Amino acid sequence: MSVTILIILAFAAIFLFSTINILREYERAVVFTLGRFWRVKGPGLILIIPFIQQMVRVQLRTVVMDVPSQDVISRDNVSVRVNAVIYFKVVDPQKAVIQVEDYYEATSQLSQTTLRSVLGQHELDDMLAEREKLNRDIQKILDEQSDAWGIKVTMVEIKKVDIDESMIRAIARQAEAERDRRAKVINAEGELQASEKLFQASQVLAQQPQAMQLRYLQTLANIGNEKSSVIVFPIPTDLLSNVKELLTSKNSQ
């Protein structure tokens, strides 16, 4: 009799143990009754009827998923390897369990294909210089397509873009050529501004002959301060004109 009682107590303990379930704050239980969806329960203490009801635990915390490196051919036919990290979480436990077999694997595969598809539509310069825009585009596409699974993609970050050594050298040459071009443009703009200022100064000096004489004396003073054995004195053109007129008048006499 005592053995029978022990067996009954053991079955009762097992039954009670399988009935009581405790869910943490970030967990939910998708409960099925005889195979049909019943409700989402939790957190806290929940009771499940053994053999009649089953539950599937789902976590609501943000999942950080590393997307493996993907071979991508950019729009300008450059082969690169790109990897990224995806941040997502379950917002609808019912859809995450019923609508897809494995929401983690489904999100991973979708992330890989979307990464190749989006980056393949852009040139290499865009991948290197506009990562923030590409991150937003990928996140938007993933969020729209995974919404049917009860998944919310909160953020996408492109971690690294690997380029061949030959392409790195080509980019370096391109950057150097761009720097040379900018230097020449800046130099040409400086020459243009200087010529405009010189033209304005010449107009002012032409209107004021006294200013021209003062500028002439200042130039002579600057030359005198320099340690040079040869000094060239410029002769004003009006002085030469006067001398020419004088010689012409003497010859006529």
Pair of tokens at residue 180 = 């040379």
Quick one: fold of 63-168? Answer: Tetrahydropterin Synthase; Chain A (3.30.479)
Q: Specify the domain boundaries for CATH 3.30.479.30 within the chain.
A: 63-168
Q: How far is CA 189 from CA 180, 185, 193, in A?
A: 14, 6, 6
Which pLDDT value is given to residue 197? 76
Residue 34 near residue 17 (C-beta atoms within 8 A): no
- Per the document, the length of the chain is 253
d(CA 163, CA 172): 12
Q: Give SS3 for 32.
A: strand
> What are the counts of helices (DSSP H) followed by strands (DSSP E) for the chain?
8, 8
d(CA 143, CA 153): 5
- Residue with token string 């939790």: 42
Pair of tokens at residue 28 = 């939910």
pLDDT in 10s for each residue of the chain, 253 residues: 577 777 777 776 777 777 888 899 999 999 999 999 999 998 999 988 888 999 999 999 999 999 999 888 888 888 888 999 999 999 999 999 999 999 999 999 999 999 999 998 988 888 888 889 999 999 999 999 999 999 999 999 998 888 877 666 666 677 677 778 888 888 888 888 878 777 776 676 666 665 656 666 666 666 666 665 555 555 555 555 655 565 566 555 5
Which pLDDT value is given to residue 196? 78
Residue 110 near residue 147 (C-beta atoms within 8 A): no
